[in-house]
Copies of this chain bind each other. A is one copy, B any other.
Amino acid sequence: MTNLFIRKLSRRVRMSDADIEALSAATSKMLYYDADHDLTQEGSKPEFAYVILDGFACRYRIMQDGSRSILAYLVPGDGCDLHASILTQMVHSIGTLTPCTVATIPYRVIKELAAYRPNVYLALWWSVLVDESILQEWLVSVGRRSSDKQLAHFLCEVLTRLQAVGLALEPDYRIPLKQSELADTAGLSHVHVQRVLSDLRKAKLIEVGRKGLVVPDLERLKAFAEFKPDYLHLSHLDEAPPPPAPLDLANATKDDFEKRFGRNRSFRDQNP
């Protein structure tokens, strides 16, 4: 059994069949949520990491004046807060934007993977680093791009990320984002977002519908937005295998692991 998350990671980090089996077991518990449902809330100390398998979610913060700031979109195949357990508490919330299918991974299982599946653990870190890279690009967008290019850039990013996991390949795919959500992402008012989208529509770069946006020609939109996908680090793995990353955790034993994932060569057997 596999899923979008595993397929995405296995294209970036070399993993054995046993690695993939372990990751598959870790993400097998699925939950279904409606739109506008919070998975975790600011100030809490969650016990699970999440993997989005279907639907759109986001990280967000509510400011003192009630306005919302969206910090990240989570699309199918994305993990979120895979390592938040290292930090003391969440400083933002995670909520669904559309109905979502979500896999949960208890942090205890992540610790086990850290101890016995170094390549899986490395893959999870890869995912965290890509998130950080996206965050940097968003900061650039909000700080330095004009509002039309900024919105176009977001749309290019979302489509590119979806296409990287085999979704949204058809040119009439509707991005299920509301204008108010784009506004809270870009730090603009919803009125201004409407006017900018209007202009993009007049330029035939997008089509605006009631339930989302359609990008008929992604390449043209990319050219307009000066979109360079390097920061998504999507290139296929082609180099030497990445460094092993074992973590010796006191509360996970080899026995625990084998009961859960079956007998396999542990990290210690294959590495000094």
**Min CB distance, A11 to chain B, in Å?**
13
Neighbouring B residues of A187 by C-beta, 8 Å: 142-144
Q: What separation, in Å, do the CA atoms of A137 and B138 have in the docked complex?
A: 12
A100 CB–B CB distance under 8 Å = no
A185 to chain B: closest residue by CB: B143
- Is B139 in contact with A69, judged by CB distance below 8 angstroms? yes
Looking at A38, A262, A263, the one whose CB has the most chain B CB atoms below 10 A away is A262
A:142-196 near B, CB below 8 Å:
142-145, 180-181, 183-184, 186-187, 189-190
A40 to chain B: closest residue by CB: B262
A230 to chain B: closest residue by CB: B91
Neighbouring B residues of A67 by C-beta, 8 Å: 144, 266-268
- Is A140 in contact with B95, judged by CB distance below 8 angstroms? no
- Is B258 in contact with A62, judged by CB distance below 8 angstroms? yes
Number of interface residues of A (CB under 8 A): 93
A223 CB–B CB distance under 8 Å = no
Neighbouring B residues of A69 by C-beta, 8 Å: 139-140, 143-144
- Is A114 in contact with B190, judged by CB distance below 8 angstroms? no
Q: Mark A118-141 against chain B: 1 for CB-CB distance below 8 A, else 0.
A: 100110011011111101111110
- Is B140 in contact with A68, judged by CB distance below 8 angstroms? no
A66 to chain B: closest residue by CB: B267
Neighbouring B residues of A125 by C-beta, 8 Å: 83, 86, 125
Stretch from A2-10, A24-32, A204-212, A245-253 that touches the partner: A245-253
**Min CB distance, A122 to chain B, in Å?**
6
A:76-120 near B, CB below 8 Å:
83-89, 91-93, 95-96, 110-111, 114-115, 118
Can you list 12 A-B contacts (CB < 8 A)?
A37-B264, A59-B136, A62-B267, A69-B144, A71-B139, A87-B129, A91-B230, A93-B262, A121-B245, A128-B132, A142-B142, A144-B187
